[in-house]
């Protein structure tokens, strides 16, 4: 919700209330280009609850920041730590199986 009056009216008419959100601090970040012919693995795993429905996602990008592959995975049930480990391992398995050894 972007806190517009129109959005507030729509939510109110549906009986949906808002909730207070703390002010978020905006921090500057930079993308540092990778050396030629290297790839970057971005991965994350999560579980709903600490034994709950689990999943992972992986994005592989090249040195120009172009997406080479995206992979979502449903992992059944798991804990947060293991879903993170699974995501890392799946990314590394993809790298090895596709002969992209400059990570």
Do the strands 67-78 and 52-61 form a parallel or antiparallel pair, or are they unpaired? antiparallel
**DSSP secondary-structure letter at 74?**
E
pLDDT at residue 1 in the model: 46
Q: 57: closest CA among 48, 66, 69?
A: 69
Residue 10 parent element (H or E): helix 5-13
Q: 57: closest CA among 38, 76, 75?
A: 75
- CATH fold of 5-98 reads Nucleotidyltransferase; domain 5 (3.30.420)
Per-residue confidence band for 2, with pLDDT thresholds at 50, 70 and 90: low
- 0.85 exceeded by pTM: no
Q: 56: closest CA among 42, 38, 68?
A: 42
């Amino acid at each position: 919700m972007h806190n517009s009056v129109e959005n507030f009216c729509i939510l109110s008419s549906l009986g949906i209330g808002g909730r207070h959100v703390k002010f978020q601090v905006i921090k500057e970040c930079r993308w540092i280009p990778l050396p030629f012919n290297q790839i970057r693995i971005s991965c994350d795993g999560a579980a709903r609850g600490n034994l709950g429905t689990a999943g992972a996602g992986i994005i592989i990008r090249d040195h120009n920041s172009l997406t080479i592959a995206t992979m979502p995975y449903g992992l059944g049930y798991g804990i947060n730590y293991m879903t993170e480990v699974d995501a890392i391992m799946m990314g590394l398995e993809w790298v090895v199986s596709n002969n992209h050894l400059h990570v």
